[in-house]
Structure 1
Amino acid sequence: MASEEELVAFVASSFRSIWALELLLLLKQEGRACRTEDLVLSLRASPAVIDRALEALVAGGLVTCEDGTCIYMPVTSEVRALVDETEQLYRSKPDRVRRLIVASVNKGLTAFSDAFRLKD
């Protein structure tokens, strides 16, 4: 079982949006290769949102895509365990997970905007 710090770091680094997390959990639940068109329909999202989320999930070693289909396939058993724990946390405390994702995305935006802040 991962520590709370490890789980928070995993969520913050693996998911750039709630869409990405929902997509990963859908692929995990399906347990088979899914066509990207079907993922768009299942999540009622735009193809651009799904494509961006899939790119991030592939880069993070959580999903594999080939010939227009994608499948849940974590690179290691440790990553698989972190996904399982993230899923449990999301099912029990969805707002907490959403806040973690939004905070991690906003952290980069805050740092960027701070670079343009006028100094006294």
Structure 2
Amino acid sequence: MQADQSRLEFRRRNSLNSRIDATTVRIALECTKTIHEETTGEMAARIMKNTFRDTLETFLEGAKMFLGAIATLIWLIPIGMILITAVYRTIRWNRGKGKKEKIPASDSAKKQEKKGIPEKESESAEEEHQRKN
């Protein structure tokens, strides 16, 4: 039984192989557009045109960025100047305030100062006052 099946399969293969050998395949290609070959001059002109366009686009993008930076600086500079002036005046005001502050003098020195006696003399006057008491 197996021998009969294998013979049938062998016959089928042979039959198919003979059909395949006899089959002809035909392929037809049609071009709907005419392909235009560029000459060297046309290709160079196209490349130059594209390069010029790309360069111009890049330049315009740079100009936009530059104008954007200028527009930003127009309002940042006055704000910076106001801040710098405020800081400068604050520092100057604090320095001036420090100069005006004096170390408080003792009560006797204050009395002496009111009388117009110099500080050295006031010290000696204090010592004499303490000796007497």
TM-score by length of 1: 0.20
Higher relative contact order (CA 8 A, sep 6+): 1
Structure with larger Rg: 2
TM-score by length of 2: 0.19
